[in-house]
Chains A and B, each alone.
Chain A
Amino acid sequence: MAEFDTPTAIVEATRRAYSEGYRRMDTYTPFPVEGLAEELHFRCARVPLIVLLGGVAGCLGGYFLQFWIAAIYWPVNIGGRPLNSWPMFIPVTFELTVLVAALSAVLGMMALNGLPKPYHPVFNVPRFALASQDRFFLCIEASDPRFDRAATRSFLESLSPREVNDVEA
């Protein structure tokens, strides 16, 4: 795991590592660095899909809840007005759409990110505490097919980092 000082350095290092053929790696930064996920060739398509599905479920569920209560379960005849008075059901349908979509955005994001995660090997490196403050880390994982303890270390050192550390699992 190599430590860098600036966002520019981490983006460049990630790009070099990718072109070197490393795939199972990750970067850790104190704020979202623009373009870094793209250097890892990572695309995020599932969060929007989950939110869309959540929104549709909330919308249909919300409307059906009211329709079922007002027209089937507990019909109240008020001067012969229609039981399925849909304009009056829009506000609650809307609120439930937003509620379920928002819940699925947050829970979906956390589930895809594997959070909460009480233990992760990167935290074994004492200097990693700076990843949430002002340093930028690139970690090449041992499970990468091209990983070789000595060669990977010397590759990371060639990127002129501040420090290179081994992560003990």
Chain B
Amino acid sequence: MAVDQLPPRIVDREPDIPPVIGPGHTFASVTDKISSIVLTRRTPPGWFVGFAISSLFVIALGFGVGYLLIKGVGIWGIDIPVAWGFAIVNFVWWIGIGHAGTLISAILLLLNQKWRTSINRFAEAMTLFAVACAGMFPLLHLGRPWLFYWLFPYPNIMNVQPQFRSPLVWDVFAVSTYFTVSLLFWFVGLIPDLATLRDRARSRAGQVIYGMLAMGWRGSARHWKRYEVAYLLLAGLATPLVVSVHTVVSFDFSISILPGWHSTIFPPYFVAGAIFSGFAMVLTIAIPLRKFYGLEDFITLRHLDNSAKVMLATGLIVAYGYMSEIFLSWYSMDKFDWFMTLNRIRGPYWMVFWSVMLCNVAVPQLLWSRRVRRSPRALFLVSLAINTGMWLERYMIIITSLSRDFMPSAWGRYAATVWDYVIFTGTIGFFVALMFLFVRLLPAISIFEVRELLPQAEVKEEEARS
């Protein structure tokens, strides 16, 4: 059917796409607007309130970790058979959240998606802070965290080295590489903006500190050229890395023989879930940020709309993962596997399963509607539901499989203790507090990349020739 034969409604469907940047901006106004948050504008009282509340959770985290170091992991709800508990649930959840930052900064850069520009900086910061929270849990779960360096190969008098055939050792390398590369990516992106802050700072301390961090960046054309090449290569390296990290995390499960874990769908399903939850966290942060700092011109409805579409797509992959898990456990005719599936649906943890289905499968279907995708308030609620759902999903995977494996005589139950909650909410507070500091002390939006987005940034060849 030719286009002119279609009903007009379908032809006219080309929606009014909101721009990636509000109209009427100049290089100076962009610079001024973004850097003023850090340099000149008065810190809003809400910032102090938010920072104070999140700091209380950080203090609680300090107490929780201190008590853990004194007493040992017995203060948590873990036992045999459920030895993984909250620590690993939180680890997988946090590390998954981190994935969206790298996806936005690296993969969308390679795909030349212009809308990434104003959200990449804080998404990368989010990645770093989330990975920092994630990294705490396996270390605390070690039992003797102060011996964590035994995980690395180093010359030692015990003559013992790590077992490189174990996914848990792969995890050490994957997560530490991921953190390092994310940090490099973030810092390299910050250098030109730190130079801007150095040149605009009025206080001596600001000039010195931003000046040291900017390392004498002066925007030379040769420097920019090398900078762009290096940045592009970093993006190329980070792209397979981000896929590999959650793949390795999923190997921690799928290489074991436990029903519900031993499955080849785990790597793609985990990676999709990671991006799903990561974008939910990006929206959870972006929506209040743009509102309270008046950044609607830079984080436009286009960004929210596109992020919602990514969430919808990855959410559908996750839903497919759930379906495939259930189908294969029935189709395999493995009675332990099928029991595990039924146990998830109607066993002692049935509420977790159904909450996961509600938050991760049902709620994201709202994103088919453009009205929801372009309503910040609705999107914020959807993203909170997805964050919760993805946490519960990891709880479901870990707890149901461990608590009832093969022999009923080895079954057990798991319930988190107050210390589990103290440490988990403590890391959320830690994450939020770091975000508050980041927004206050560094440009939350990449200034030089937003300048590049402006129409004035284009070199008009015809004029230049004349």
Contact = CB atoms under 8 A, between A and B. Distances in A.
A38 to B, nearest CB: 9
Contacts of A131: 199, 218-219
Contacts of A101: 233, 237
Interface residues of B, number: 67
B220 interface: yes
A44 interface: yes
Interface of B: 26-28, 31, 153, 159-165, 167, 169-170, 173-174, 177, 180-181, 184-185, 187-188, 192, 195-196, 198-200, 215-230, 233-234, 237-238, 240-241, 244, 248, 251, 448-449, 451-452, 456-460, 463-465
A160 to B, nearest CB: 13
A26 interface: yes
Nearest to B188: A106
A71 B63 CA distance: 44
Given A7-B459, A98-B177, A113-B227, A92 B451 contact: no
Contacts of B221: 14, 26-29, 33, 36-37, 39-40, 42
20 contacts: A12-B464, A27-B221, A32-B225, A35-B459, A37-B222, A37-B225, A51-B230, A66-B164, A69-B162, A69-B164, A74-B161, A76-B163, A91-B167, A91-B251, A99-B177, A106-B187, A115-B216, A133-B28, A133-B199, A134-B26
Q: Which 9 A-B pairs give the minimum distances between C-beta atoms?
A: A116-B215, A134-B27, A117-B216, A109-B230, A129-B199, A37-B225, A32-B224, A12-B464, A88-B165
Given A29-B224, A98-B241, A106 B184 contact: yes
Contact of A89 (B164, B251, B456): B164
Interface string A104-131: 0110111011011111101100001111
B233 A119 contact: no
Contacts of B198: 132
Given A35-B459, A118-B216, A91 B222 contact: no
A154 interface: no
Given A110-B215, A120-B216, A7 B241 contact: no
Interface residues of A, number: 69
Q: Which of A40, A88, A109, A115 has the most CB of B within 10 A?
A: A109
A70 B164 CA distance: 7
B237 A133 contact: no
A24 B167 CA distance: 54
B237 A7 contact: no
B448 A7 contact: no
A105 B230 contact: yes
A12 B461 CA distance: 9
Contacts of B199: 129-133
A91 B238 contact: no
B244 A51 contact: no
A47 interface: yes
A44 B188 contact: no
B457 A7 contact: yes
A7 B164 CA distance: 53
Given A30-B196, A74-B161, A95-B244, 14 more contacts: A11-B464, A12-B464, A32-B225, A48-B229, A51-B233, A70-B165, A91-B174, A92-B170, A102-B237, A109-B226, A109-B230, A113-B226, A129-B199, A134-B27
A33 B198 CA distance: 21
- Which secondary structure dominates where chain B touches chain A? helix
A133 B463 contact: no
A165 interface: no
Contacts of A11: 459, 464
Nearest to A109: B230
Given A30-B27, A132-B198, A133-B28, A92 B219 contact: no
B219 A12 contact: no
B220 A92 contact: no
A102 B31 contact: no
B181 A8 contact: no
Nearest to A16: B464
B25 to A, nearest CB: 11
A35 B195 CA distance: 22
Nearest to A13: B464
A113 B223 contact: yes
B233 A103 contact: no
Nearest to A9: B464
Contacts of A98: 177, 181, 237-238, 240-241, 244
A26 B216 CA distance: 15
A120 B458 CA distance: 29
A105 B216 contact: no
Candidate in A36, A101, A134 with the most chain B CB atoms within 10 angstroms: A134
B219 A30 contact: yes
B222 A40 contact: yes
Contact of A12 (B153, B160, B233, B463): B463
A139 to B, nearest CB: 9
Nearest to A112: B226
A34 interface: yes
Contact of B177 (A96, A106, A129, A132): A96
- Interface-centre pick from A15, A39, A115 (highest chain B CB count, 10 A): A115
Nearest to A122: B218
Contacts of B226: 44, 47, 109, 112-113
Contact of A48 (B159, B177, B233, B251): B233
A47 B394 CA distance: 41
A51 B160 CA distance: 33
A98 B195 CA distance: 28
Contacts of A96: 173, 177
B222 A15 contact: no
Nearest to B460: A8
Contacts of B452: 31-32
B184 A103 contact: yes
